[in-house]
């Protein structure tokens, strides 16, 4: 993504990078993990215009491929600003095997690097293809993404690669404007800020990785950052300067049989910056098997207004689907839905549908005013925690049927409870009460009555 929006005027310009870039609403020069006071939500949020066009980007290569070409067992270096080591364009088809790519020389425009691949190590553009195997690649320059696919039918296949980037805005695998990267047995490390290992950016793209180790160290550099569609299978990933995964807008991340760890802000964040980098819509995070870890303690210093949640949703509609994932959280907050610096103050909360299948969940659910949660416990799931203990104006619907259980740890407030009277025995109260809204039509089956719960607590109707 791009540099932050300016704070000089009410009308903001440029875009937000998060993971792949800097957060919207921060001062110029600030990005996730840096110090400084972020702007508060504006009275009106309008998507920004793109930070440039492909015609403005300075695209060139130390080697340029326009037809069919094979490069084997070579070292290709670029030390010139804005120039890629290899540039595949105009329907070119590259086969790259057993080679090394080295990229130095800074970009003159991080926008053009983030959106169009200017200064990337390997750049593949519209209608062009590259097949890459046994690659070792190092980039040591600002705006030097390692492998970049941009434009319709820009396709890259990667097998058995080792990628290392050291500066800011230098992602591992990055696709924009419908570009596609399919990788396997690929290990990626990034050290710079806003440099996710796997990323998509403006215009959407598709990135998939099967088997690999991913490590990111910079501020605002999650393991995975999506404004498109990203999938990861049999991957181990750790981010020390950001969340494990971030999704902006109507985009998705799908993870299977993997281990992801985030060490700053929150475990996973789903949001909408209104920067123009992603369509407004539903963010979807799905994970099956494996482990998800957040090492962020409650109240830790971060670059979001709230930190320490395993799942944080703000200024967007979202879906989270978990199936048999082991969760490890340094704080006691499982889900937080709240406004932050993006969107219109008062209506920029999170709207989340959370579906758990054969899942153990632990931690509290925090729902700020203007936020809504639908929590669906299915297939033998067990939730231990409190819901909306602070009794805010946030709205919650809990679906609890069959052999799923809720182990209550504090008094809790739900707007709607979808269950059966026999299913109430699946609420283990531990002496705490659960309050439900008498006015919700979904609660008609409860008839506004009070019910005794297992463990000494009660289910009580409130107006």
Per residue in 135-172, pLDDT tens?
Answer: 999 999 999 999 999 999 999 999 999 999 999 999 99
The pLDDT score that the predictor gives to residue 277 is: 61
Q: Is 422 exposed, middle or buried (0-12, 13-18, 19+ CB in 10 A)?
A: exposed
Q: Which DSSP state fits 331?
A: S
Cα 66 to chain center, whole Å?
A: 35
Residue 264's pLDDT is 97
Weakly modelled stretches of the chain, pLDDT under 70 = 1-53, 55, 274-278, 343
**HEC profile for the chain?**
CCCCCCCCCCCCCCCCCCCCCCCCCCCCCCCCCCCCCCCCCECCCCCCCCCCCCCCCCCEEEEEECCEEEEECCEEEECCCCEEEEEECCCCEEEEECCEEEECCCCCCHHHHHHHCCCCCEEECCCCEEEEEEEEEEECCCCCCCEEEECCCCEEEEEEEEEEECCCCCCCEEEECCEEEEEEEEEEEECCCCCCCEEECCCCEEEEEEEEEEEECCCCCCCEEECCEEEEEEEEEEECCCCCEEEECCCEEEEECCEEEECCCCCEEEECCCCCCCCCCEEEEEEECCEEEECCCCCCCCCCCCCCEEEEEECEEEEEEEECCEEEECCCEEEEECCCCCCECCCCCEEEEEEEECCEEECEEEECCCCEEEEEEECCCEEEECECCCCCCCEEEEEECCCCEEEECCCEEECEEECCCHHHHHEECCCCCEEEECCCHHHHHHCCCCEECECCCEEEEEC
In the structure encoding, which two tokens stand for residue 116, read together? Answer: 């169009």
pLDDT reported for residue 11: 32
Q: Which runs of E-coded beta strand occur in 37-146?
A: 60-65, 68-72, 75-78, 83-88, 93-97, 100-103, 122-124, 129-139
pTM of the complete model beyond 0.85: yes
What pLDDT does residue 339 have?
Answer: 84
Residue 214: strand, helix, or coil: strand
């Amino acid at each position: 993504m791009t540099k932050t929006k300016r704070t000089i005027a009410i009308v903001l310009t440029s875009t937000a990078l998060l993971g792949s870039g800097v957060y919207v609403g921060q001062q110029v020069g600030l990005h996730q993990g840096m110090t400084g006071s972020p702007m508060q939500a504006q009275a009106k949020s309008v998507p920004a215009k793109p930070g440039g066009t492909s015609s403005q980007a300075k695209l060139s290569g130390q080697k340029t491929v326009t037809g069919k070409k094979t490069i084997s067992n070579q070292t290709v270096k670029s030390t010139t600003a804005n120039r890629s080591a290899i540039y595949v364009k105009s329907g070119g088809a590259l086969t790259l095997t057993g080679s090394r790519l080295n990229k130095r020389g800074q970009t003159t425009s991080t926008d053009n690097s983030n959106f169009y691949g200017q200064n990337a190590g390997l750049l593949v553009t519209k209608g062009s293809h590259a097949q890459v195997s046994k690659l070792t690649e190092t980039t040591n320059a600002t705006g030097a993404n390692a492998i970049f696919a941009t434009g319709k039918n820009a396709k890259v296949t990667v097998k058995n690669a080792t990628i290392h980037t050291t500066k800011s805005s230098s992602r591992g695998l990055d696709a924009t404007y419908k570009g596609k990267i399919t990788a396997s047995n690929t290990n990626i490390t990034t050290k710079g800020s806003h440099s996710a290992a796997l990323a998509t950016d403006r215009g959407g793209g598709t990135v998939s990785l099967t088997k690999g180790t991913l490590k990111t160290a910079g501020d605002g550099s999650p393991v995975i950052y999506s404004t498109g569609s990203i999938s990861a299978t049999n991957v181990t990933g750790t981010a020390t300067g950001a969340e494990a995964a971030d999704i902006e807008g109507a985009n998705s991340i799908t993870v299977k049989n993997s281990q992801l760890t985030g060490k700053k802000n929150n475990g996973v964040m789903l949001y909408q910056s209104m920067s123009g980098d992603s369509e407004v819509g539903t963010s979807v995070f799905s994970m099956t098997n494996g482990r998800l870890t957040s090492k962020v303690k409650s109240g830790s210093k971060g670059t979001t207004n709230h930190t320490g949640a395993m799942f944080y949703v703000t200024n967007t509609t979202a879906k989270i689907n978990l199936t048999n994932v082991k969760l490890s959280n340094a704080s006691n907050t499982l889900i937080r839905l709240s406004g932050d610096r993006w969107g219109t103050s008062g209506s920029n909360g999170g709207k989340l549908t959370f579906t758990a299948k054969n899942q153990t969940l632990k931690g509290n659910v925090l729902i700020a005013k203007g936020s809504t949660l639908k929590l669906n416990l299915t297939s033998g799931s067990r939730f231990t925690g409190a819901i909306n203990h602070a009794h805010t104006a946030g709205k919650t619907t809990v679906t609890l049927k069959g052999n799923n259980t809720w182990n209550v740890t504090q008094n809790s407030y739900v707007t709607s409870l979808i269950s059966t009277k026999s299913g109430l025995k699946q609420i283990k109260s531990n002496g705490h009460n659960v309050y439900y809204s008498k006015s919700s039509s979904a609660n008609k089956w409860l008839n506004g009555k009070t019910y005794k719960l297992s463990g000494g607590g009660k289910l009580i109707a409130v107006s």
